[in-house]
Amino acid sequence: MPIDDKYDVIVVGGGNAGLNAAITVADAGAKVLLLEVAPKNQRGGNSRHVRNFRCSHDAPLGVLPESYNHDQFRQDIIQVTEGNTDLNLLDLLVTSSSDCYLWLEKLGVRFQKALSGTLQLNKSNAFYLGGGTALLNTLYAVAETKGIEIIYEAKIKDIVIKNKSFESIILNENESDLSIEASSLILASGGFQANKEWLEDIWGAKAKNFIVRGSSYDRGEILKIMMSSDADVVGDEDQCHAIAVDARSPEYDGGIVTRIDCITHGIVINKHGERFYDEGEDIWPKRYAIWGRLIAMQEDQIAYAIIDSKMLNQFVPTVLDPIVGNTIEEVANQISVDSERLNQTLHNFNASISKTHYDHSKLDGCSTENIVPIKSNWARKIDTPPYYAYPLKPGITFTYMGLKVDSQARVQFNGKASENIFAAGEIMAGNILGRGYVAGIGMTIGTVFGRLAGQHAYG
């Protein structure tokens, strides 16, 4: 495709945030260039793997029943972030999220009811029919009909910024540099979670054992350029969304199927055969996002979920079969954990359970007594062979440290907003997510701030 040397708006990143920005600004009549780092068949960053977005609504809306109002949404975020959030931006996010459903529907995005096994999300989260890849395909088709020019495998070398104002972008095309000017720049290039070197700078050798659940192209190169241009940064560098995934998963791009959902069904041990955290602290949708970090803190970043045959078909099935043994020793030998130690852990755990009103459908209060750590709910003796073990590693989804923005999605320099540089999506998620995570919030941030950037970047 021939590239012009001047556009109204350049959007960097062809995921959900970038596409929403590009389509919004093209609707306003702008000439738009979208730069996507991945090849076409892997386009869209982490959006390829997502399944829903969180959406406030006062009345039933499309596939969303009943209501999930502003206050509930707001409270959920304040709770998971422990207050580490920009309240003004949070209010903006929650208010705008309700428009997003109809906006996406108008673009041809199709929705479906909450998937089986995700019932607790059915009011708050709108599921894309077919998931994120289908969403991307629809948005890319819309972008093409609106005349947005798209360059795949775009290699961005530099961004020329003078006096907090964007001037041009330097693209490496066929071994030579190409300078492209535009009146505005929208940055939607994701987090830096696939940049293992960067992660190692922060986490040390631990990062070697992280599994990247999403795109291998999210390397944070753009964030790095902006940081060296003195753009204001928000969020702690080690904060991220990370969950427990099957240790045997692909190093990158494993997506949704890598997760292991049986932590509440048994116990989790480290490589020394010891439990290290309350597996039954709260319902799984409220706790799954803490386990990536918990496992990252264990030696060699490895842990094992242990269940017995009573629990085998009680959770979402896994891609890979668990390690199985007729005795706990058999299991211990296969996972190279000291069998005596594991036996002791299991013995102590089983001996600490006297309550029998196990009910996994609610917080049953069926807790252990007199052991550390406690298992607060769903404590049930692990005593019915065969026994099963799932090896767990931290699976990082996206990092939070990013560009600080204002209520028009403008990037900040020394506390002052840029007149023509905007950011949306994971690259600025840290404005909302100081820590913690709730399902679908990443996509809400991308859609809302993508549209917002698009609205202010032109005209």
Can you give the binding site for other proteins, defined by CB under 8 A?
A: 41-42, 48-49, 51, 110, 112-113, 115-117, 127-134, 137, 141, 250, 253, 255-257, 313, 316-319
Distance of closest approach, residue 110 Cβ to other proteins, in angstroms: 6
CA–CA dist 253, 296 (Å, integer): 19
* Least gap, CB of 63 to other proteins (angstroms): 9
What count of residues does the chain have? Answer: 459
CB 114, min distance to other proteins, A = 10
Q: Which is nearer to other proteins, 70 or 110 (CB)?
A: 110
- In the bound state with other proteins, the residue whose beta carbon lies nearer, of 16 and 377, is 16
DSSP codes, 59-118: S-BTTB-S-B-HHHHHHHHHHHHTT-S-HHHHHHHHHHHHHHHHHHHHTT--EEPPPTT-
CB of 257 vs other proteins, minimal distance in Å: 4
* CB 174, CB 166: distance < 8 Å: no
| Long-range Cβ contacts of 143-146 (<8 Å, 24+ apart) | 143/19, 143/22, 143/23, 143/26, 143/34, 146/23, 146/26, 146/27, 146/32
Closest contact distance (angstroms) between CB of 123 and other proteins is 17
Hey, what amino acid is at 169? Answer: I
Tell me whether residue 46 or residue 412 sits nearer to other proteins (CB atom). Answer: 46
Peptide bond into 373 cis (omega under 30): yes
- Kindly tell me which of 44 and 273 has the beta carbon lying closer to other proteins: 44
Closest CA to 35 of 18, 48, 23, 21: 18
Cβ distance to other proteins smaller for residue 315 or 400: 315
* CA–CA separation, 80 and 73 (whole Å): 11
Residue type for position 125: N
What b-and-e string marks burial along 278-295, b requiring 16 or more CB atoms within 10 Å of the CB? Answer: bbbbebbebbbbbbbbbb
Rounded (10°) angle between helices 441-456 and 16-27: 30
Report in angstroms how near the CB of residue 241 gets to other proteins at its nearest.
18
Between residues 256 and 351, which has the closer beta carbon with respect to other proteins?
256
Taking the complex as a whole, the smallest distance from the CB of residue 112 to other proteins amounts, in Å, to: 3
* Cα(41)–Cα(20) distance, integer angstroms: 19
Q: Residues with Cβ < 8 Å from 39, sequence gap 6 or more? A: 152, 153
Pick 140 or 458: Cβ nearer other proteins: 140
Phi-psi region of 252 (alpha: psi -120 to 50; beta: other; left: phi over 0): beta
Residue 250: CB minimum distance to other proteins, A: 6
End-to-end CA distance of the chain: 26
Q: Which residue, 134 or 227, is less far from other proteins as judged by CB?
A: 134
CB nearer to other proteins: give 29 or 130: 130
Are 233 and 404 spatial neighbours (Cβ–Cβ below 8 Å)?
yes
Comparison of 54 and 74: residue with beta carbon closer to other proteins: 54
Minimum distance from CB of 196 to other proteins (Å)? 18
Q: How far is the CB of 13 from other proteins (least distance, A)?
A: 18
CB of 129 to other proteins, least distance (A): 5
Chain centroid, CA 453 distance in Å: 21
Is the CB of 133 or the CB of 408 nearer to other proteins? Answer: 133
Q: How many alpha carbons fall within 13 Å on the CB side of residue 54?
A: 22
